[in-house]
Amino acid sequence: MQSGFSRDELLSEINVTPFVDVMLVLLIIFMVSAPMMVQGVDVNLPRTAAAPLEEKADHLVVSVRRDGQVYLNEQAVGVDYLTRKLELILIDMGARDVYLRADKSVPYGRVVDIMARIKKAGVTSLGMVTLPEVDEAS
């Protein structure tokens, strides 16, 4: 059989089979690992019957974990430096909205202290993040 090519000519067709194999393996890896990636700080939020707030794209979230550790978005920050760090961030941002996510087991005094430090940084709008209340009758 002759293919129309002589022995001295180069074959100019690209073999895409290895490329497809690699892409399928990467797809499987990402499909398996994506659900395992957890975003945010693990906080057990309290449940309330409050109406949800409008979600804004560029907002700051201060989280307080059960052990009392404070996070600004997903970065751990010392309580003593929270006000100063917020002041520096708010200089660059136009909005002054911050959401507070506090674990329900954190003492009330600790939450109020964090709220006071946030307000001291110049935040004009402080929202409390909660989960919707669950009807236990059903």
| Residue 108 forms part of a structural domain | yes
Residue 90, domain CATH: 3.30.420.270
pTM for the complete prediction?
0.58
Cα–Cα distances (Å) from 46 to 40, 43, 71, in that order, read: 16, 9, 18
**Residue 52 located in a structural domain:** yes
- Render pLDDT for 121-137 as a digit per residue (tens, 0 to 9): 888 888 887 777 766 55
Minimal CA–CA distance to 62: which of 92, 106, 3? 106
pLDDT tens figures, 38-93: 555 566 666 666 665 565 556 788 888 888 888 988 888 888 888 888 888 888 77
For 1, 3, 73, 78, 92, the CA distances from 8, given in Å and listed in that order, are 17, 13, 63, 71, 65
For residue 106, tell me if it sits in a domain.
Answer: yes
Q: Is residue 33 part of a domain?
A: no
- The residue segments making up the domain with residue 83 are 47-132
Q: Total domain count for the chain?
A: 1
The order of strands in the sheet holding 75-77 is 75-77, 70-72, 60-64, 97-102, 125-128
Residue 110 structure tokens: 């600790």
